[in-house]
């Protein structure tokens, strides 16, 4: 009897382990768990440009290649204009609108701040990269308080002292055609001219003061490899890059409203910046120059059809994309078909999706959204946090993951990740999407607090003694958030197409399976490298559309250049 019980327990334990095919002699062969932590809106130079040993800004940011910015006429700026109120120096008084939300706002939030129309007359901010934290330190009270969000369309942060600590800056435009205009055929010189935040695009942080850097340089830190030539997959913003992360494709919307299409000016900047590409010529003619692509392609933010989505009463709600058909497969579909365990863990998912019995539910059970951080106007049981980003949930756009389907069971709250880790039940593939306040996004999130959350995620994964020895964590960012970088994106057959890749973003692999304590990998990757890594490791049908873009296997090589660890 005792032997039967022990046998049943052993079988149950085996069944709980993810299905992982063997890859004899492959550097990825020992990896049984891949965890992708997907952060928000940072270019490599903006965040990691001062990391010693990488292709960054060090030792002299002022001498970085491709640093000189030109105006819309192609003339170099004498110095950088600034639109963030905390970088203001002269001229034009503006009104800073208060944060939105149910939480009480401190008096005096409707204040006046100064913005420069142009800084050339005073010589401030020369035309070169500049340290943001010299002007907006991490402790600066420039962020909206918990339970609130920046007003829609706001291009400036709160004046220092009128918010809560966090060092928030203005958000920056980051859309499909704007980024192509900014990259300017690899010259990287129109980021300031193409941004609603002007010269903020050229700002960078003291990498060595960031929580992640300090964590990885302390005693007992895990091994890591920085991929310092990693580019986000598609031009533009979060929605398109999240969809490329899970499907490697740009969705189409046949029959979309005509007004949803973009209209471009002769310089390549949008006159009407729609959710879709420039409309195709009904007579079958070529795309209007300088558009790289035209048709019914969704390239900027739209809402999903399935909840959670932005409440109907929101002024920013916009269009809802019809569900993408099952014929357009995702990496989730591939993993499920191969019986490989996987989950998408999102901060705030249970509250937003109305999962009242979920581990992440915080809104009570009396028929109202009781959490003070819930979005105003929400209808119980859908009680999303004020900073929950609906377009950061890519699987929710696909019919395979509609409410009530088996696919939906793979979409979980971030709290479920911590439970799975404590129980030693990390799936073979895990995607982790932090809640808005913790994802490092400029405008509504503080960088330092987001990095502390990132470190906490890494530490929680390391604490899973059962799974950590065979785990590799991939940390990267969905896109550059409109921020400049000095390295042009790769171009050519097999590595680029009409959709991208876009600007260079931070990326690293953290794993006990790496062969060095700290190293740098100069291989050119993009977001589709993650798809290639997953499909090769688990023997799946391919998804990534760029044949010459490699997977991340080289990061496990023994001959990578080492990085300083002190």
Using alpha carbons only, give the angle 228, 231, 234 rounded to the nearest 5 degrees. 175
Q: What span, in angstroms and rounded, lies between the C-alpha atoms of 274 and 203?
A: 28
> Dihedrals φ, ψ of 479, to 5°?
-165, 180
Instruction: With respect to residue 263, please indicate whether it lies within any of the assigned structural domains.
Output: yes
57 secondary structure, DSSP code: S
Closest CA to 150 of 451, 437, 360, 382: 437
Q: In what order do the strands lie in the sheet with 270-272?
A: 270-272, 261-264, 276-278
Residue positions counted in the chain: 566
CA atoms within 13 A on the CB side of 441: 25
Residue 291 lies inside a defined structural domain of this protein = yes
CA distance 441 to 428: 28
Cα(399)–Cα(411) distance, rounded to whole angstroms? Answer: 13
- Residues whose CB is less than 8 angstroms from the CB of residue 539 and which lie 6 or more positions away in sequence, other chains included: 21, 338
pLDDT tier, 475 (very low <50, low <70, confident <90, very high otherwise): very high
The DSSP bridge pattern shows strands 141-143 and 164-165 to be: antiparallel
DSSP secondary structure of 155-177: -S-PPTTSSEES---------HH
- Identify whether 293 is part of a domain: yes
pLDDT on residue 395: 98
pLDDT above 60 for 17: no
Helix, strand, coil shares of the chain as percentages rounded to 5? 25, 15, 60
* CA dist., res. 458 & res. 503, Å (int): 25
Q: Closest by alpha carbon to 479, among 415, 430, 527?
A: 527
Could you read off the pLDDT of 22-63 as tens digits, one per residue?
666 688 989 999 999 999 999 999 999 999 999 999 888 989
* pLDDT value, residue 10: 39
Alpha-carbon distance of 180 to 202, in angstroms, equals 17
Question: Rounded to whole angstroms, how far apart are CA atoms 104 and 102?
Answer: 6
pLDDT of residue 191: 98
The pLDDT of 227-242, averaged and rounded, is 98
Q: How many CA atoms lie within 13 A of 153 on its CB side?
A: 5
Residue ranges in 187-337 assigned as alpha helix (H): 211-216, 238-247, 331-337
Burial code (b: 16+ CB inside 10 Å, e: under 16) for 453-470 equals: bbbebbeebbebeebbeb
277 falls within a domain: yes
| Assessment of whether the complete model's pTM goes beyond 0.85 | yes
CA distances to 267, 384, 433 from 175, in Å: 16, 25, 21
Signed CA dihedral, 235, 436, 369, 360: sign only: positive
How many Cα atoms occupy the beta-carbon half-sphere of 374 within 13 Å?
23
The total domain count for the chain is: 1
The pLDDT value given to residue 122:
55
* pLDDT value, residue 72: 94
Tens-place pLDDT, residues 241-299: 999 999 999 999 999 999 999 999 888 889 999 999 999 988 888 888 777 789 999 99
Q: Are 494 and 463 in contact (CB under 8 A)?
A: no
Q: Which pairing describes strands 261-264 and 276-278: parallel, antiparallel, or unpaired? A: parallel
Phi/psi at 495 (5° precision): -120, -10
**Could you give the dihedral angle defined by the CA atoms of residues 439, 442, 444 and 447, in that order, rounded to the nearest 10 degrees?**
50
Q: Provide the pLDDT for residue 95.
A: 59
Look at residue 151 and tell me if it is in a domain.
Answer: no
Report if residue 278 sits inside a domain.
yes
Structural domain of 286: 252-297
Judge whether 419 lies within some domain: no
Q: What percent of the chain has a predicted confidence (pLDDT) above 70?
A: 89
> Where in 42-152 does DSSP place strands (E)?
93-96, 100-101, 111-114, 130-131, 141-143, 148-149
The CB density around residue 488, as the number of other CB atoms within 10 Å, is: 17
Number of Cβ within 10 Å of residue 51's Cβ equals 25
**409 found inside a domain:** no
Beta carbons within 8 Å of 14's beta carbon, 6+ residues apart: none
CA distance 156 to 85: 6
């Amino acid at each position: 009897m005792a032997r039967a019980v022990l046998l049943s327990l052993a079988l149950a334990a085996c069944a709980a382990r993810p299905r992982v095919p063997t890859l004899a002699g492959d550097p990825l062969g020992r990896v049984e768990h891949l965890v992708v932590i997907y952060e928000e809106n940072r270019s490599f130079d903006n965040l990691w440009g001062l990391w010693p040993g990488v292709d960054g800004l060090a030792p002299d940011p002022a001498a970085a290649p491709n640093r000189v910015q030109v105006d819309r006429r192609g003339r170099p700026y004498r110095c950088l204009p600034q639109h963030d109120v905390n970088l203001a120096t002269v001229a034009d008084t503006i009104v800073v609108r208060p944060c939105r939300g149910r939480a009480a706002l401190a008096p005096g939030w409707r204040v006046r701040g100064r913005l420069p129309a142009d800084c050339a007359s005073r010589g401030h901010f020369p035309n070169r990269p500049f340290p943001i934290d010299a002007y907006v330190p991490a402790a600066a009270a420039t962020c909206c308080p918990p339970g609130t969000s920046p007003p829609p369309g706001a291009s400036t942060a709160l004046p220092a002292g009128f918010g809560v600590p966090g060092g928030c800056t203005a958000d920056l435009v980051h859309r499909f055609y704007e980024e192509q205009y900014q990259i300017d055929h690899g010259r990287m010189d129109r980021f300031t001219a193409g941004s609603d935040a002007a010269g903020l695009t050229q700002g960078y942080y003291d990498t060595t003061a960031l929580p992640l850097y300090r964590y990885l340089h302390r005693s007992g830190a895990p091994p890591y490899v920085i991929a310092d030539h990693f580019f986000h997959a598609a031009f533009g913003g979060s929605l398109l890059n999240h969809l490329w992360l899970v499907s490697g494709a740009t969705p189409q919307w046949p029959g979309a409203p005509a007004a949803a299409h973009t209209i471009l000016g002769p310089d390549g900047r949008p006159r009407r910046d729609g959710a879709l590409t420039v409309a195709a010529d009904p007579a079958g003619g070529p795309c209007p120059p300088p558009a790289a692509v035209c048709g019914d392609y969704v390239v900027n933010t739209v809402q999903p059809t399935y909840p959670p989505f932005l409440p109907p009463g929101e002024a920013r709600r916009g269009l809802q994309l019809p569900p993408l058909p099952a014929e357009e497969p995702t990496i989730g579909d591939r993993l499920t078909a191969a019986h490989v365990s996987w989950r998408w863990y999102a901060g705030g998912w249970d509250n937003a999706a109305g999962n009242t019995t979920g581990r992440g539910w915080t809104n009570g059970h009396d028929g109202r959204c009781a959490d003070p951080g819930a979005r105003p106007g929400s209808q119980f049981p859908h009680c999303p946090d004020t900073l929950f980003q609906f377009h950061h949930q890519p699987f929710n756009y696909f019919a395979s993951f509609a409410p009530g389907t088996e696919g939906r069971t793979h979409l979980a709250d971030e709290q479920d990740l911590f439970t799975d880790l404590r129980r030693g039940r990390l799936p073979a593939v895990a995607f982790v999407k932090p809640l808005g306040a913790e994802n490092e996004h400029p405008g509504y999130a503080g960088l330092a607090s987001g990095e502390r959350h990132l470190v906490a995620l890494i530490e929680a994964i390391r604490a899973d003694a059962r799974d950590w020895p065979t785990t590799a964590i991939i940390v990267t960012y969905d896109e550059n958030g409109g921020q400049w970088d000095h390295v042009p994106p790769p171009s050519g057959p097999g590595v680029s197409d009409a959709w991208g890749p876009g600007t260079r973003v931070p990326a690293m692999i953290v794993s006990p399976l790496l062969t060095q304590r700290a190293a740098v990998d100069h291989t050119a990757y993009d977001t589709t490298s993650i798809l290639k890594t997953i499909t090769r490791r688990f023997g799946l049908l391919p998804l990534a559309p760029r044949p010459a873009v490699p997977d991340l296997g080289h990061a496990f090589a023994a001959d990578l250049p080492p990085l300083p660890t002190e």
